[in-house]
């Protein structure tokens, strides 16, 4: 539904999979095919210019193309017919050589690969921007103390910088995988009717090599008409990226609950309001990100099911990819755009984070006391004793430190000043800063490597 595109598919990737770009991708294949075949002496050089000139999407009647595709079973068959007629109006002899020796799937698959190349390039830029913004926020909040939460309950103190660094660390891995998958995915499809290129006789390999060079794509060892692992890898990458950013959005929305109020989304006029309740500030970006994440598993299930393709040309599996993969990528583009907006302008209430550490009256620091006491009475006895006082603190609404100070066994080994220090959240951050520094160092290293590769 196009009305929802600004909310769910607002990224730059959506336009790369428009109807116009789908058609243009196939036309670029046809133009490059003519150039490559002329270079190899398969078609006359005079046929190239009329074919290439006609290979522009504005020359195509889209309503007629859509109607004809319903009977043809794919877009390429009626597209080649329209293209041939267009060329024929300029050069009847050149029209004989349109789509020479190729099959519909060659045009459709290679056209898709050209779209994927543009999408992967744009994604690389968007991801670089997103990691840069996130790295700045990691640095900004690297010492901001907040409650860590496990099983949705207070666990131990952490820093907000560490929480953000976990997301940055994952995004850096996705960035590495993106670089690694490009040469595997950006591959020409040219196999002819049954994957043998019999129509081109002995010139098949030569034409394939020339076409790959013309389109600046890798040349596969064999046509991959019914081997779809490359597209599955692309889909899995985008779905995985959505998962990482959705985990962040989910955490963020939980921290944004009224009772927690440690963060909030960027403030903007008319954003996050309610039609009934004027006080509401709803997590709109988080909702959009999580909506996409809810959809990607189903789309990936279709791509996995589409791996089971019949013989040399699929019946249903290949066709199912046509809308599923672009939709998945467009949703992922929206997720990146919403995440950029969210991370760039997020509001962080550092005072509330610190205050929330105190709502359990010191219970969040119980482990530190247990470990210190264990040196004197053993781990099991220390755990049992501190656990008992934690339960009492909850039942009596008392602070843990008062109960511990009044316990003769505890006070025998731990002074009041020692207990105060042990119950200070700032002393229990462990290796948080070390982990943050490692991620930031890796980010800087990867930025350097990325700039060299580009």
Residue by residue, what is the 3-state secondary structure of the chain?
CHHHHHHHCCCCCHHHHCHHHHHHHHHHHHHHHHHHHHHCCCCCHHHHHHHHHHCCHHHCCHHHHHHHHHHHCCCHHHHHHHHHHHHHCCCHHHHCCCCCCCCHHHHHHHHHHHHHHHHHHHHHHHHHHHHHHHHHHHHHCCCCEEEEEECCEEEEEEEHHHHHHHHHHHHHHHHHHHHHHHHHHCEECCCCCCCCCHHHHHHHHHHHHHHHHHHCCEECCCCCCCCCHHHHHHHHHHHHHHHHHHHHHHHHHHHCCCCCCCEECCCCCCCCCCCCCCCCCCCHHHHHHHHHHHHHHHHHHHHHHCCCCCCCCCCCHHHHHHHHHHHHHHHHHHHHHHHHHHHHHCEECHHHHHHHCCCCCCHHHHHHHHHHHHHHHCHHHHHHHHHHHHHHHHHHCCCHHHHHHCCHHHHHHCCHHHHHHHCCHHHCCCCHHHHHHHHHHHHHHHHHHHHHHC
Decide if 46 is catalytic.
no
In terms of Cβ atoms closer than 10 Å to its own Cβ (0-12, 13-18, 19+), residue 310 is exposed
Decide if 9 is catalytic.
no
Q: What are phi and psi of 159, to 5 degrees?
A: -110, 150
Yes or no: say if 134 and 164 are a contact pair by the CB < 8 Å rule.
yes
* Catalytic choice (281, 295, 313, 437): 313
* Catalytic choice (46, 274, 415, 431): 274
d(CA 294, CA 405): 50
Yes or no: say if 186 and 218 are a contact pair by the CB < 8 Å rule.
yes
Which whole-number Å values give the CA distances from 436 to 116, 162, 354, 440, in the listed order?
34, 6, 19, 6
Q: What are phi and psi of 251, to 5 degrees?
A: -60, -45
d(CA 40, CA 59): 28
**Catalytic positions, written as ranges:** 274, 313
């Amino acid at each position: 539904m196009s009305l929802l595109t600004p909310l769910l598919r607002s990224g730059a990737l959506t336009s790369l999979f428009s109807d116009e770009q789908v058609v243009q991708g196939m036309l670029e294949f046809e133009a490059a095919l003519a150039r490559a075949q002329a270079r190899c002496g398969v078609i006359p050089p005079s046929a190239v210019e009329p074919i290439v000139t006609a290979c522009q999407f504005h020359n195509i009647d889209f309503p007629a193309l859509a109607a004809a595709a319903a009977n043809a079973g794919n877009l390429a068959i009626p597209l080649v017919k329209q293209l041939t007629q267009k060329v024929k109006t300029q050069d009847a002899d050149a029209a004989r050589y349109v789509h020479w020796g190729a099959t519909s799937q060659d045009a459709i698959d290679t056209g898709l690969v050209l779209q994927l190349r543009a999408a992967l390039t744009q994604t690389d830029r968007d991801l670089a921007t997103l990691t840069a913004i996130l790295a700045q926020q990691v640095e900004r909040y690297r010492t901001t103390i907040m409650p860590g939460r496990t099983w949705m309950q207070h666990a131990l103190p952490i820093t907000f910088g560490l929480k953000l660094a976990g997301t940055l660390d994952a995004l850096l891995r996705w960035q590495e995988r993106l670089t690694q998958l490009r040469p595997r995915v950006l591959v020409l499809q040219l196999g002819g009717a049954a994957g043998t290129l019999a129509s081109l006789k002995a010139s098949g390999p030569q034409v394939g090599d020339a076409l790959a060079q013309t389109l600046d794509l890798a040349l596969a060892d064999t046509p991959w008409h019914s081997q779809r692992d490359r597209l599955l890898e692309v889909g899995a990458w985008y779905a995985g990226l959505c998962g990482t950013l959705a985990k962040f959005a989910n955490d963020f929305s939980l921290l944004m609950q009224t009772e927690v109020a440690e963060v909030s989304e960027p403030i903007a006029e008319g954003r996050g309001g309610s039609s009934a309740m004027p006080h509401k500030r709803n997590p709109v970006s988080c909702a959009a990100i999580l909506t996409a994440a809810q959809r990607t598993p189903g789309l990936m299930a279709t791509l996995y099911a589409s791996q089971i393709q019949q013989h040399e040309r699929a019946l249903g599996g290949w066709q199912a990819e046509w809308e599923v993969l672009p939709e998945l990528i467009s949703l992922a583009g929206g997720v990146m755009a919403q995440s950029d907006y969210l991370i760039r302008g997020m509001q962080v209430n550092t005072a509330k984070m610190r205050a929330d550490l105190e709502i359990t009256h010191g219970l969040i620091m119980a482990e530190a006391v247990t470990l210190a006491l264990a040196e004197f009475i053993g781990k099991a006895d220390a755990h049992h004793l501190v656990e008992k006082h934690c339960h009492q603190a909850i039942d009596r609404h008392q602070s843990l430190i008062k109960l511990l100070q009044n316990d003769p066994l505890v006070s025998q080994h731990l002074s009041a000043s020692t207990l105060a220090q042990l119950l200070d959240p700032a002393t229990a951050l462990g290796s948080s800063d070390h982990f943050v520094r490692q991620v930031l160092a890796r980010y800087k290293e990867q930025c350097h490597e990325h700039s060299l590769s580009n």
